[in-house]
């Protein structure tokens, strides 16, 4: 290797030559710096917050929340689930599909669809994402998947890749499940969006775009208001409409259940009265957009119920409804005073449950309204904070910094 001047022959004016080279070197450095700034600005731009509407799934016969995305050029309305990883939609031809108002996804008419092969690392990622390894028996070339949910629901099909559009942002070669056999409590939604922490979740696949940060504000189920799902943005909170400052608590790592979001629930208060129990802080509590009603360990629930009944006294009692055992007849009342309900977390973070998340309307005429909490069977079971208690709250998941934030926000998009 020789210097390029070796080939340039004799140099009459060395100073002029050196000056010219230094100027060229400066131009190169400026070019590199400009390129770096462009790449960084591009990263900031693609990491800027993408906001898409999120709605109650009641109109699709679901108590979960839904968003509409574009997959392979077709719209798909899917359930938002932080407790799942694999995103999937119902596909045709379908062996066993439930009814949905939108057309089934048809991979054969999408020019950007590709199947995932059995011998790929993506297929091998299914074990950590779904608990079931990819199915490749009988010399199958395509990677087949099975996902079973805790309520008995399931989806089965093959893994595929296609062009996903979220708002104005594209995710190329997005891996998802093409469901050929689907049954369960999905209402009329076209599928499910997995926002867990494994490699196959949406937030992991798009980490280069959104930086491992997302948040949502869930609207009340009984209103026509629309909340928002915001992907990306790092610490840029300018797009939020929160009325209180954001308070953060760290995520609790659980190696056996690493894809779920666990927090350390350190206390609960109702009407300003703190619930005292030794169970607090002993194990992580899961926060989940796909669970509806918050579940508490029995001893905590019993204490909470006792304090609530003392503060919410004088109203006629009604029989329990399903998992809800504390119900009232409020049809004769135009106005009732509902105690404030707050959850405290490690690090001083606090989530005040919106007033619409304290009572559950079983009957629209208010003749049967129940306390919107339920008890787990045993104290060593994991508590879950459901979406009913997360309404009108900005919940921020910052995987990069391993923390979750809360702030009050009236959800409107």
What's the longest Cα–Cα distance across the chain? 105
Catalytic residues: 81, 288
Is residue 113 within 8 Å of residue 89, measured between CB atoms?
Answer: no
* pLDDT above 50: residue 43: no
On the question of pLDDT at 329 being above 80, the answer is: yes
Distance CA 172, CA 177 (A): 15
Own/partner contacts of 205-208, CB < 8 Å, gap of 24 or more, are: 205/171, 205/174, 205/175, 206/166, 206/171, 206/174, 206/231, 207/399, 208/46
pLDDT > 80? residue 46 = no
Residue that is written with structure tokens 């049809």 in the block: 331
pTM for this prediction: 0.85
Q: Which residue has the tokens 């891996």?
A: 175
CA–CA–CA angle 66, 50, 52 (5° rounding): 25
Q: What is the mean pLDDT of residues 383-394?
A: 95
Over range 388-408, report the average pLDDT. 95
Give how far the C-alpha of residue 148 lies from the chain's centroid of Cα atoms, to the nearest Å. Answer: 18
Return the structure tokens found at 231.
């992907």
Q: Name the strands in the sheet holding 262-263, side by side, starting at the edge strand that comes first in the sequence.
A: 262-263, 285-287, 384-385, 294-296, 373-375
- Which of the residue ranges 36-50, 213-227, 322-336 would you say has the lowest mean pLDDT? 36-50
- What is the rounded distance in angstroms from the CA atom of residue 176 to the CA atom of residue 81? 14
Whole-number percent of the chain with pLDDT over 70: 85
* pLDDT at residue 234 in the model: 61
Q: Mean pLDDT in the chain? A: 87
- Burial (Cβ within 10 Å: 0-12, 13-18, ≥19) of residue 377: exposed
Residue range 155-165, pLDDT digits in tens: 999 999 999 99
Q: Tens digit of pLDDT for each residue in 98-139?
A: 999 999 999 999 999 999 998 888 998 888 778 888 777 666
pLDDT of residue 136: 79
Per-residue pLDDT band at 42 (split at 50, 70, 90): very low
pLDDT-above-90 percentage for the chain:
68
Residue 2 pLDDT: 54
Confidence of residue 307 (pLDDT cuts 50, 70, 90): very high
Lowest pLDDT segment from 45-49, 90-94, 167-171, 391-395: 45-49
Which pLDDT does position 53 carry in this prediction? 94
Q: Which residue has the higher pLDDT, 184 or 29?
A: 184
* Lowest pLDDT segment from 65-69, 282-286, 312-316, 376-380: 282-286
Q: How many beta carbons lie within 10 A of that of residue 322, not counting itself?
A: 10
Two tokens, residue 284: 């992580």
How many CA atoms, within 13 angstroms, populate the side-chain half-sphere of residue 312? 27
Looking at residue 25, the DSSP 8-state letter turns out to be H
Has residue 413 got a pLDDT over 70? no
Q: Which residue has the higher pLDDT, 46 or 67?
A: 67
| CA separation for the pair 204, 231 (Å, rounded) | 12
Residue 399 scores a pLDDT above 90: yes
15: left (phi over 0), alpha (psi -120 to 50) or beta: alpha
């Amino acid at each position: 290797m020789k210097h390029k001047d070796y080939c340039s022959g004799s140099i009459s004016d060395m100073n002029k030559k050196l000056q010219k080279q230094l100027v060229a070197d400066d131009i190169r450095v400026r070019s590199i710096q400009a390129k770096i700034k462009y790449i960084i600005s591009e990263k900031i731009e693609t990491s800027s917050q993408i906001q898409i509407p999120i709605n109650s799934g009641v109109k699709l016969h679901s108590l979960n929340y839904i968003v509409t995305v574009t997959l392979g050029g077709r719209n798909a309305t899917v359930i938002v689930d932080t407790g799942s990883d694999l995103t999937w939609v119902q596909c045709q031809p379908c062996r066993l599909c439930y009814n949905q108002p939108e057309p089934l996804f048809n991979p054969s008419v999408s020019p950007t669809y590709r199947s995932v092969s059995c011998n790929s690392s993506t297929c091998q990622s299914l074990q950590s994402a779904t608990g079931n390894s990819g199915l490749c028996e009988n010399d199958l070339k395509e990677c087949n998947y099975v996902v079973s949910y805790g309520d008995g629901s399931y989806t089965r099909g093959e893994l595929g890749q296609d062009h996903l559009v979220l708002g104005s942002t594209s995710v190329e070669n997005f891996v998802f499940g093409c469901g050929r056999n689907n049954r369960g409590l999905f209402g009329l939604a076209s599928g499910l969006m997995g926002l867990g922490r494994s490699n196959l979740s949406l937030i992991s696949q798009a980490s280069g775009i959104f930086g491992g940060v997302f948040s949502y504000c869930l609207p009340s189920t009984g209103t026509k208001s629309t909340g928002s799902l915001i992907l990306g943005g790092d610490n840029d909170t300018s797009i939020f409409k929160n009325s209180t400052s954001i308070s953060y608590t760290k995520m609790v790592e659980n190696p056996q259940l690493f894809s779920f979001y666990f927090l350390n629930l350190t206390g609960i208060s109702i009407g300003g009265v703190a619930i005292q129990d030794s169970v607090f802080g002993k194990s992580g509590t899961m926060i989940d957009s796909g669970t509806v009603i918050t579940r508490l360990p029995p001893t905590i629930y019993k204490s909470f119920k006792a304090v609530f009944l003392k503060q919410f006294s004088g109203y006629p009692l009604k029989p329990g409804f399903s998992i809800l055992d504390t119900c009232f007849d409020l049809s004769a009342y135009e106005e009732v005073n509902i105690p404030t309900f707050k959850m405290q977390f490690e690090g001083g973070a606090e989530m005040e449950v919106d007033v619409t998340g304290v009572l559950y309307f079983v009957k629209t005429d208010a003749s049967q309204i129940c306390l919107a909490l339920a008890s787990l069977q045993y104290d060593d079971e994991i508590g879950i904070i459901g979406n009913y208690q997360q309404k009108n709250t900005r919940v921020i998941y910052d995987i990069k910094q391993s923390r979750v934030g809360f702030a009050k926000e009236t959800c409107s998009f």
